[in-house]
Amino acid sequence: MRDWICVAREEEIAEPGDFLTLNIIDEPVVVARNEAGNVSAFSNVCQHRGVAVVQGRGNRKRFSCPYHAWSYDLDGKLVAAPHMGEATGFDPKTCRMPQLGVGLWGGFVFINLADEPMPFSDFIGRFAEEFDYLRLQDCRLAERIEFDLPCNWKFVAENLLDAYHARVAHAKSFGKYRDTVDYFKDLPGQDGLFGEYNSSALVPGGQSLFGNMPWLEDKPSTFACLGHLPPNLQLFGRCDNAVWDAIWPINPDRTILHLNILFPKDLFKRDDFKAKLGIYADFQRQVIEEDRDLVTSLQRGAYSRKFVPGRLSTLEHGIYNLINYQIDRLSDADGAT
């Protein structure tokens, strides 16, 4: 996989020694902040027998494999290997867990599994130009909601980009407040989309509970934007917050969606923040649950021997873009074999 994958927020590993683990398909990964304060990432496989050296998240000075106690520092370099002094052909100085590429933008952490990844600046450049004004580095992760969806990851991604269904499927939540227009534009020279449109704050009644983010004071209360940077960064902005949807394929008919709600960091000090955050989180749960039966049905329909996909509406530009991205990646894979 040559693409950069958005895996975390920097505040999740804010202090030296902080770490988190995840699986990207079948690759176990550690993301950590080292003693110098830099973010590192490496494969979570002990270089002795391949056992995962750590699980979950937390704070440590080093990682010790639970199998034979080989220990590694926060950059994945071996620091101890008991009873290996007489082993033939073993050089502890060159032993380390495989490093992965790391890129940072807007408070997000990206990693790359490729041996020779494309420069992160090339990957993020045009997207950053379009969305730097959101100042997401000045926001913090307020809530993460997990949805376990019985469908292929592509159906989840397509649904999130589908402007056509909003007024129908989400009539009880935000659909009545939302533009029914084609607002997407392709990112010039790279995969992805961006666009601004009119919608409501994602709370009952559609009125923000906090007002505009300080750096968006010039935007109307109906301001909304969307950015998609494949494979897994989907960003939805409003006047008062932003939502990062991270899509994690589990198998061909199961996907985990992490819906991450971001707010300006100064709001966290407010006495009413936690209670109002709960209102935003409950509304987001409602929106995704409105989609659950639909994406489940998409999965069933894909198995029908009689179904032939129809033409896309002009309101489904996002789906068109995503399908072309997938075709390009499949073509790349075919050319490499």
Q: Which of 75, 97, 118 is the last residue of a domain?
A: 118
pLDDT digits 0-9 by tens, 46-59: 999 999 999 999 99
- How would you classify residue 58: left for phi > 0, otherwise alpha for psi between -120 and 50, otherwise beta? left
- Same domain as 209, residue 148: yes
Length of the chain: 337
231 occurs within a structural domain: yes
Cβ contact 242:134 at 8 Å? yes
Confidence of residue 151 (pLDDT cuts 50, 70, 90): very high
CATH of residue 10's domain is 2.102.10.10
Same domain, 148 and 204: yes
Instruction: Decide if pLDDT at 302 tops 60.
Output: yes
Is 124 a member of any domain?
no
Same domain, residue pair 113 and 141: no
Cα separation of 44 and 313, whole Å? 44
Tokens of 175: 């659909």
Instruction: Note whether 162 and 243 are same-domain residues.
Output: yes
User: What's residue 201's pLDDT?
Assistant: 86
- Whether 40 contacts 99, CB under 8 Å: yes
Is the same domain home to 176 and 321?
A: yes
User: Domain with 290 in it: what CATH number?
Assistant: 3.90.380.10
**What's the helix, strand, coil split of the chain in %, to 5?**
30, 30, 40
Q: Is the pLDDT of residue 241 over 80?
A: yes
pLDDT at residue 326, rounded to an integer: 84
In sequence order, which residues have a C-beta less than 8 Å from that of residue 274 and are 6 or more positions away?
none
- Among the candidates 118, 148, 171, a domain finishes at 118
Using an 8 Å Cβ cutoff, are 324 and 317 in contact?
no
Q: Given a cut of 70, is residue 178 above it in pLDDT?
A: no
Same domain, 200 and 293: yes
Residue ranges of alpha helices (H) inside the chain are 120-131, 153-160, 166-169, 273-302, 317-335
Quick one: pLDDT at residue 167? 75
pLDDT band with cut points at 50, 70 and 90 for residue 314: confident
φ/ψ bin of 135: left (φ > 0), alpha (ψ from -120 to 50), beta (otherwise): left
Do 286 and 307 lie in one domain? The reply is: yes
pLDDT band of 219, cuts 50, 70, 90: very high
Structure tokens at 305: 């021997």
Reduced 3-state DSSP string for 21-50: EEEECCEEEEEEECCCCCEEEEECCCCCCC
3-class SS at 205? coil
pLDDT in tens, 182-217: 677 888 777 888 888 888 888 998 899 999 999 999
Cα separation, 331 vs 90, whole angstroms: 40
Does one domain contain both 89 and 201?
Answer: no
Residue 179: predicted pLDDT: 60
Residue 336 forms part of a structural domain: no
Looking at the domain assignment, is residue 213 inside a domain? yes
Whether 311 and 192 map to the same domain: the answer is: yes
Q: Residue 53 in contact with residue 72, Cβ under 8 Å? A: yes
337 within a domain of the structure (yes/no): no
Do residues 100 and 189 both lie within one domain? Answer: no
Handedness of CA 169, 172, 174, 180 (dihedral sign): positive
Judge whether 227 lies within some domain: yes
> Where among 61, 95, 118 does a domain terminate?
118
Same-domain check for residues 197 and 299 = yes
Tally of structural domains, the chain: 2
Beta-carbon count within 10 A of 104 CB: 14
**Residue 111 and residue 142 in one domain:** no
Residue 168 has pLDDT above 80, yes or no: no
The residue-averaged pLDDT of 70-75 equals 98
Residue pair 46/70 in contact by the 8 Å Cβ criterion: yes
Domain extent at residue 232: 129-331
